[in-house]
Each structure stands twice: as C-alpha cells, then as structure tokens.
Amino acid sequence: MGSDTESKADEIGSVVAVHRAADYQFSKDTAPSINLIAGLGVEGDAHLGATVQHRSRVARDPSQPNLRQVHLVMSELLDEVRAAGHEISEGQLGENITTAGIDLIGLPVGSLLRLGDDALVALTGLRNPCPQIRDVGDGVLDMMFVDGARYGRPNKKVGRTGVMGVVLTPGPVSAGDPIAVRYPAGQHTPMERV
C-alpha cells in the first residue's frame, strides 16, 4: 500500500454465502441470494439507505452519507475462530457477504469488487469490531485484531471484522459467484474505520 501504482489487474475470489436482516440485529440470516441496489445497499436489509442507517451513527448525525451499505467478511477469519474451538457461522458477524480467497482488510480504499455478473461495490473502510462479538466466546473479540505491521501500519492494531462498501452498480449476488477485485489507480490509501 502507499505506493503510486497503476490500477492493478483483477484478483479473483468467491462468494461463500449472502445474508440480510430486515430488522436491527447483530447477526444476519443466510439467504439464497441478495439484491444490491445502487446508492442504497442490500434490498430488504435494515441498513439499506442513502444516509447512515447504523443506529449509533444516526443518533450522532442522521444526514451522514451511508458508507456502510454492504458489509463483507472473509470466511478465512471464521475458519480461524472455529480452529480456536469456537462455534461461528456465516452471517453471525453481521455481514451481508461472506467471501473466500481475498484478503479484504489489505485492500485500499476505493477498491472495486465485481460480485457475480453485474453488481459493483466500492470499498469505503473497515468495520470496527463490536463488543457483541464477545457473545461468540471468550477471547474471540481479541482475535478480531491483528498487528498492523501486516498491513503496513506498524505499532497499530487493525480490526478485521470486515470491510464496508457502497453499491455503484446494482445486481444479484449468490453463493458461488466470483468476486473480481480492481485496485484503484494512483496512491493507495489503507482503509480506516468508517
């Protein structure tokens, strides 16, 4: 990161599962597919909207743009939690899309994800690990942070409970769909919490 480079070639990953919840709850229900709506987010999800929908952010300023329309989490993180002896399922961290094969946390701001044939999401930042993660098991919240040196940020802990994005192009997303990543041209900026 931090280098001035041309737009990097596509990397390919895949969608493991998709999720939504019509009401505000920590975890989301797995669905056969979800529909992404440009400028709004996931159809039928409580966080759908052009302005911020997360309750704590609405309380501070309801007119803020919604930079958290879509939440994506790496299945590899869930695998680590399981390997540590905890039970966790896709959607339990509140994500809309569980992915495989892409280090989402290492992507720069503005990276574009092509999900399936049509949907396009621009990444806006990191999700802050929520204290409700403690409900998964003792020590799981601590597992949500890694040494920032891994991502070019020495002496800093980086949360890895997923990334947030906005929908640029609408479309359906289903388990098994490919994910193509396009890095932004120019200076790469590491994602921060949004």
Q: What is the pLDDT along the chain (194 residues), one digit of tens a residue?
A: 444 444 455 779 999 999 999 999 999 999 999 999 999 999 999 999 999 987 787 788 889 999 999 999 999 999 999 999 999 999 999 999 999 999 999 999 999 999 999 999 999 999 999 899 999 999 999 999 999 998 888 889 999 999 999 999 999 999 999 999 999 989 999 999 99
Q: Is residue 22 part of a domain?
A: yes
Query: Is residue 193 one of the residues assigned to a domain?
Result: no
For the question of whether the overall pTM of this predicted structure is more than 0.85, the answer is yes
Residue 18, domain member (yes or no): yes
Q: Does 191 map to a domain?
A: no
Domain membership flag for residue 192: no
Asked whether residue 159 is domain-assigned, the answer is yes
- The domain containing residue 153 runs over which residues? 4-185
Domain count, the chain: 1
- Is there a domain that residue 190 lies in? no
Q: Please report, for the domain that includes residue 147, its CATH number.
A: 2.40.33.20
Backbone angles phi, psi at 59, to 5 degrees: -65, -35
Cβ within 8 Å of residue 82, ≥6 positions away: 88
Say which residues have a Cβ less than 8 Å from residue 174's Cβ, sequence separation at least 6: 15, 18, 32, 33, 34, 116
Q: With respect to residue 130, please indicate whether it lies within any of the assigned structural domains.
A: yes
